[in-house]
Amino acid sequence: QSALTQPRSVSGSPGQSVTISCTGTSSDVGGYDYVSWYQHHPGKAPKFMIYDVSQRPSGVPDRFSGSKSGNTASLTISGLQAEDEADYYCCSYAGSYTEVFGTGTKVTVL
Amino acid sequence: QVQLQQSGPGLVKSSQTLSLTCDISGDSVSSNSAAWNWIRQSPSRGLEWLGRTYYRSRWYTDFAGSVSSRISINPDTSKNQVSLQVNSVTPEDTAVYYCARGYSYGQSGRHYFDSWGLGILVTVSS
């Protein structure tokens, strides 16, 4: 099972929007609406941000939104804030009771 | 609030066995609603899901195909822990290892990783 492909880095100024793509195949992202996103500040525990492609767990700001088209899922951060600077990982169900993560994207707030 | 803490040796020699434990508080390893996952992170591979164990009238385990021949994940109900063993390690197994709870969300009922430990760095020396 190959890792899902994410851009290595994206950046934006405070208040702007950034979008992170997560590209897989029809065997994972494209085959199931079971994509999730995780925020990771180095040295801290990763944080659960999005599930079922576009749903936010309780407590996650509505600045974070998810979507999917075909084999590519996306995470958009609107109204970028300094504390959003972190690494972001997508994850998808990959069939046969397995999961696959993305390669990770570093978000930099300029 | 679920808290997870990984522990184990930080240095393992090539060809030996890596053994880690995850102490669970705020939930039960035997919960019928949760699954207990091991995930690792390395600079070369990013996050990699390794496997999970969960209890649904009996114990189940699922493993990633890339490591399924070398790993075992076992619950310890007496200590409310879950353990990971990786056999025949190589320097490629050097990573930060995380324990994470999988919990059901939304109408899909799929499990997502909603609580994570801080992780433990394990270095495999050649």
pLDDT of residue A3: 92
Read off the amino acid at residue B112. Y
Of A47, A55, A98, the CB nearest to B62: A98
pLDDT at B83 > cutoff 80:
yes
Query: What three-state secondary structure class fits B91?
Result: helix
More confident call, A95 vs A1? A95
- Give the domains, in start order, of chain B with CATH numbers: 3-121 (2.60.40.10)
The answer to whether the beta carbons of residues B90 and B103 sit under 8 Å apart is no
Residues 6 or more apart whose CB falls under 8 angstroms from that of B13 comprise B124, B125
Task: Tell whether A95 is within 8 A of chain B (Cβ).
Answer: no
Task: Tell whether B48 is within 8 A of chain A (Cβ).
Answer: yes
pLDDT of residue A41: 94
Of A36, A89, A104, the CB nearest to B112: A36
H helices present in chain A, as ranges: none
Alpha-carbon Rg for chain A in angstroms: 13
pLDDT of residue B107: 83
pLDDT at B44 > cutoff 90:
no
Q: Hunting for tokens 């890792």 — which residue is that? A: A3
Which CATH class for the A9-109 domain? mainly beta
* For testing contact with chain B, the best of A29, A47, A90, A99 (most B CBs within 10 A): A99
A24 strand-pairing partners: none
Rounded distance, CA B21 to CA B80, Å? 10
Task: Tell whether A45 is within 8 A of chain B (Cβ).
Answer: yes
Q: CA of A80, closest CA in chain B: separation in Å? A: 23
Identify the burial level of B92 via C-beta atoms within 10 angstroms of its C-beta, where 0-12 means exposed, 13-18 middle and 19 or more buried.
exposed
Tokens of B74: 């076992």
The answer to whether the beta carbons of residues B75 and B36 sit under 8 Å apart is yes
Average pLDDT over residues B92-117: 93
Read off the amino acid at residue B19. S
Residues of B in contact with A2 (CB under 8 A): none
Query: What three-state secondary structure class fits A92?
Result: strand
Average pLDDT over residues A69-86: 97
